[in-house]
Amino acid sequence: MWSHDLHHCGPAAGASGFVGPTMVLRERELFLYCRHLRRLRRECRRSRFGNEVSDRFLQDYIGRVDLTNTAILGYLDGEEIRAVAELRSMGNAWCDEAEAAFSVETQWRSRGIGSALMMDALAISSELGVERVHMICERHNRAMLRIAEKVCADIRFEHGDCLAQIPVPRRQSQAWGRCFAAYSSSIPSTNSAAPGSIYRAC
């Protein structure tokens, strides 16, 4: 269980400097995540969930989020969340492996937001004792592939998908500096599913 001291992460930092504020959502703020998912275009929803999904599906999905084994990091633009990194333990409680999924609204892409959210997700993973983060994206999703490559992911391809396994370095280790040299320093159940079934990046 992680402390709500991590609730506000502060400004996320990317290679070109600060890209905006990020925060870890609490239960009463999950409606903002739902609004973000509902704004995603059809093709991005399909990439994120592996299927065509309706607004009702998204509402039900948010209703099943269990914050005892899931952390939702949102990128804020005003009062709306425009991008999210969702980190979920592969156990009913936090353990040494987790899955991550990312979504960025179309107008907010190519600004370094996905990279900044990855940094924050890995920083929180380190705090939670997670050692490996798994991520799935489509083979042609070059943006997410580049982010995975930059964080020293072990990448393989299966049936049109990219499967990435990302090591979570300890903050003081030399590996952290090697893997993230391209970036500035980041500011430090009932929802369980089969690995990769709906945990994807778009």
User: What residue spans define the domains of the chain?
Assistant: 4-179
Distance CA 175, CA 173 (A): 5
Enter the pTM of the model.
Answer: 0.77
Give Cβ neighbours of residue 109 (< 8 Å, ≥ 6 apart).
143
Superfamily of domain 4-179: Gcn5-related N-acetyltransferase (GNAT) (3.40.630.30)
- Provide block-wise average pLDDT over 10 residues at a time, the chain (202 residues): 43 51 92 96 89 94 96 92 96 95 92 90 94 89 86 86 88 48 34 44 70
Q: How far is CA 73 from CA 83, 87, 120, in A?
A: 8, 8, 8
- CA-to-CA distance for 59 and 38, rounded, in angstroms? 9
